A and B are shown apart, each in its own frame.
Chain A
């Protein structure tokens, strides 16, 4: 469905020192830096897959999504989505895709969302019957109720995001590019949006590419992740594999009847945290059974769980490793006059 080969996107950015003198000098002579937002990445995504596209701020995630959506022209490389070259922005292609961003909106600000739905119906040439069915379905799943008849400006952020999603799906796109769709939303609204996205993917077989800084989004939605850092790909594979590769140790959480002695905990494994009610130990996977046996014999254990390391930690470790690996080389930014 999505094929990206050697994609690069470079920007020329005007650079100047602070101060009046530098400002005056820049009128006559300008210095530019070439910023490599995306630097030769390749990946393939199959039809119906849900893929998390992860990376720290400025990694090149949003730039890649914008190239895939046809908004940006790549500097190098080949991008094909369902047989189309996105930069050509053919009608047939634009009718198959949608880019939803948590920070940009398509809803008409002073009109109710229902007007945007109607506009999209006309623009995407959605038959009336299908339009009605889709709006009913979206209204029910997203619990839109009378939100769609209030002016957009009077909706809360969460309500607006639900209506944004509905507007984006009026034409039932086969490929969804979602850039931080849950940003700024409360926990309950995040869960609603996540469930809805998953349902849409399962019901319509849509391909999903999602960026998010909320790891709960990724865990709930994306069996596969592609990690990008400083414009380069640093991981592409299963989420579980990523966790096992970066943090092969397990976390054993002991819920205690009373506080345990630190020396006893240290003897069982690496102590991640401990207080009067619980202790978290990090132990190699193969030592989990033995550690639990020893702990049950030596600690006042009420209950216990075995978990993977939190994804936030895994990602942070991965980014740190990428940075260390890239450290000897330059940042890759050439300089143009």
Chain B
């Protein structure tokens, strides 16, 4: 599909995507509640760190980490895999394929358009709490300059994971079980439940070679002063290398999968 067509249609797609997100506000509230796991982990680790810090994490550091993790998760969420699974099985994908715009672009806009609403309640609340805990736990200003890039990279990796798993349903007719496996790996290796720097050495090394940490862990690490400036740049570089690699892999998976599309239903 031409980039020009896609770029011109994006503002309207975003506007309509937002209108759809508003229509599904109850579902959105449930989704937000389902992402409160960092707050549960916060209470657990705060209890552990009450008497002595764990690594560099005292109670204040844990609070900062998990509140930021909650915000980052809101800002990098994607759910295209569920949409694609449903649409491949019912044949609803046909309607997207008939339009002169890539279905991947339309999934992206629908997912992105819902983020402001998802963040509208959660992010201000978490940000206020963060301010109360104290800015001393946060990184100096220049690290914040990398945050938009790291968030964009984190969202893109999450979205591409969704598209890749959704595209697998073109081969297997349903890939929701794969989504469950993915989510387990994400929860463990992304820093979502436990900060990556608390992993034992050998596991920490493995995390470096997996994409999960770059979805939500890296943006939080940048803001919580976990890395030197050079290390932060290196990690953002690796994150975007993952974006490129996953875009290529996902594109191939999608393109070949379409040849198998059965367009079920009338």
List the interface of chain A (C-beta within 8 A of B).
11, 62, 66, 69-73, 89, 91, 94-95, 97-99, 101-106, 108, 110-111, 115, 118-125, 151, 179-180, 183
Pick from A104, A110, A123: contact of B99, CB under 8 Å: A123
| Cβ B92 vs Cβ A104 within 8 A | yes
| Cβ A70 vs Cβ B24 within 8 A | no
| Cβ B266 vs Cβ A110 within 8 A | no
CB B260 to nearest CB in A, in angstroms, measures 8
Chain B residue with minimal CB distance to A92? B100
Please give, as numbers and ranges, the residues of chain A lying within 8 Å of B92 by CB-CB distance: 104
A–B Cβ pairs within 8 angstroms, 19 of them: A71-B263, A72-B262, A91-B5, A94-B98, A97-B98, A102-B266, A103-B266, A104-B265, A108-B20, A111-B19, A111-B23, A115-B16, A119-B16, A122-B9, A123-B100, A123-B101, A125-B8, A125-B9, A183-B266
Please give, as numbers and ranges, the residues of chain A lying within 8 Å of B101 by CB-CB distance: 123
Q: Residues 100-111 of chain B: 1 if any A CB is under 8 Å from the residue's CB, otherwise 0? A: 110000000000
CB A26 to nearest CB in B, in angstroms, measures 14
- Cβ of B94 under 8 Å from chain A: yes
Chain A residue with minimal CB distance to B92? A104
- Cβ of B1 under 8 Å from chain A: yes
- Cβ of B261 under 8 Å from chain A: yes
| Cβ A95 vs Cβ B263 within 8 A | no
Q: Contacts A71-B261, A123-B5: A106 and B266 contacting too (C-beta < 8 A)?
A: no
| Cβ A101 vs Cβ B263 within 8 A | no
**Top 4 A-B pairs, shortest CB-CB distance:** A103-B266, A122-B12, A110-B23, A94-B100
Please give, as numbers and ranges, the residues of chain A lying within 8 Å of B99 by CB-CB distance: 94, 120, 123-124
Q: Chain A contact residues: over half helix, strand or loop, or mixed?
A: loop
CB B23 to nearest CB in A, in angstroms, measures 4
- Cβ of B97 under 8 Å from chain A: yes
Please give, as numbers and ranges, the residues of chain B lying within 8 Å of A66 by CB-CB distance: 94, 263
- Cβ of B34 under 8 Å from chain A: no
| Cβ A72 vs Cβ B97 within 8 A | no
Chain B residue with minimal CB distance to A124? B100
Inter-chain pairs besides A70-B97, A95-B100, A105-B95, 5 sampled, C-beta below 8 Å: A62-B266, A73-B259, A91-B100, A119-B13, A180-B266
- Cβ of B2 under 8 Å from chain A: yes
| Cβ A123 vs Cβ B9 within 8 A | yes
Please give, as numbers and ranges, the residues of chain A lying within 8 Å of B53 by CB-CB distance: none
Name the residue in A62, A71, A94, A118 with the highest tally of chain B Cβ atoms < 10 Å from its Cβ: A71
Pick from B24, B259, B261, B265: contact of A103, CB under 8 Å: B265
> Once bound together, how far apart are the Cα atoms of A247 and B266, in whole Å?
31
Query: B1-47: which have CB < 8 Å to A?
Result: 1-2, 5, 8-9, 11-13, 16, 19-20, 23-24
Please give, as numbers and ranges, the residues of chain A lying within 8 Å of B11 by CB-CB distance: 122
| Cβ A104 vs Cβ B16 within 8 A | no
Chain A residue with minimal CB distance to B4? A125
- Cβ of B91 under 8 Å from chain A: yes
> Once bound together, how far apart are the Cα atoms of A71 and B264, in whole Å?
10
CB A227 to nearest CB in B, in angstroms, measures 19
> Once bound together, how far apart are the Cα atoms of A91 and B24, in whole Å?
31
| Cβ A115 vs Cβ B19 within 8 A | yes
> Once bound together, how far apart are the Cα atoms of A122 and B91, in whole Å?
24
| Cβ A111 vs Cβ B98 within 8 A | no
| Cβ B12 vs Cβ A71 within 8 A | no
| Cβ B16 vs Cβ A111 within 8 A | yes
Please give, as numbers and ranges, the residues of chain B lying within 8 Å of A94 by CB-CB distance: 98-100
> Once bound together, how far apart are the Cα atoms of A120 and B13, in whole Å?
9
> Once bound together, how far apart are the Cα atoms of A71 and B265, in whole Å?
12
CB B215 to nearest CB in A, in angstroms, measures 29
Query: B64-98: which have CB < 8 Å to A?
Result: 91-92, 94-95, 97-98
Chain A residue with minimal CB distance to B15? A118
CB B17 to nearest CB in A, in angstroms, measures 9
> Once bound together, how far apart are the Cα atoms of A97 and B100, in whole Å?
10
Please give, as numbers and ranges, the residues of chain A lying within 8 Å of B2 by CB-CB distance: 91
Q: Contacts A62-B266, A110-B24, A180-B266: A104 and B95 contacting too (C-beta < 8 A)?
A: yes
Please give, as numbers and ranges, the residues of chain A lying within 8 Å of B263 by CB-CB distance: 66, 71-72
Query: B233-266: which have CB < 8 Å to A?
Result: 258-259, 261-263, 265-266
> Once bound together, how far apart are the Cα atoms of A183 and B265, in whole Å?
14
> Once bound together, how far apart are the Cα atoms of A325 and B23, in whole Å?
55
Please give, as numbers and ranges, the residues of chain A lying within 8 Å of B95 by CB-CB distance: 104-106
Pick from A95, A104, A110, A118: contact of B94, CB under 8 Å: A104
> Once bound together, how far apart are the Cα atoms of A69 and B263, in whole Å?
11
| Cβ B5 vs Cβ A125 within 8 A | yes
| Cβ B12 vs Cβ A110 within 8 A | no
Name the residue in B2, B12, B13, B24 with the highest tally of chain A Cβ atoms < 10 Å from its Cβ: B12
> Once bound together, how far apart are the Cα atoms of A99 and B16, in whole Å?
23
CB A21 to nearest CB in B, in angstroms, measures 23
> Once bound together, how far apart are the Cα atoms of A330 and B236, in whole Å?
63
CB A85 to nearest CB in B, in angstroms, measures 14
Query: B96-138: which have CB < 8 Å to A?
Result: 97-101
Please give, as numbers and ranges, the residues of chain A lying within 8 Å of B98 by CB-CB distance: 69-71, 94, 97-99, 106
Q: Contacts A89-B97, A111-B19, A115-B16: A104 and B266 contacting too (C-beta < 8 A)?
A: yes
Q: Contacts A71-B261, A91-B1, A91-B2: A119 and B100 contacting too (C-beta < 8 A)?
A: no
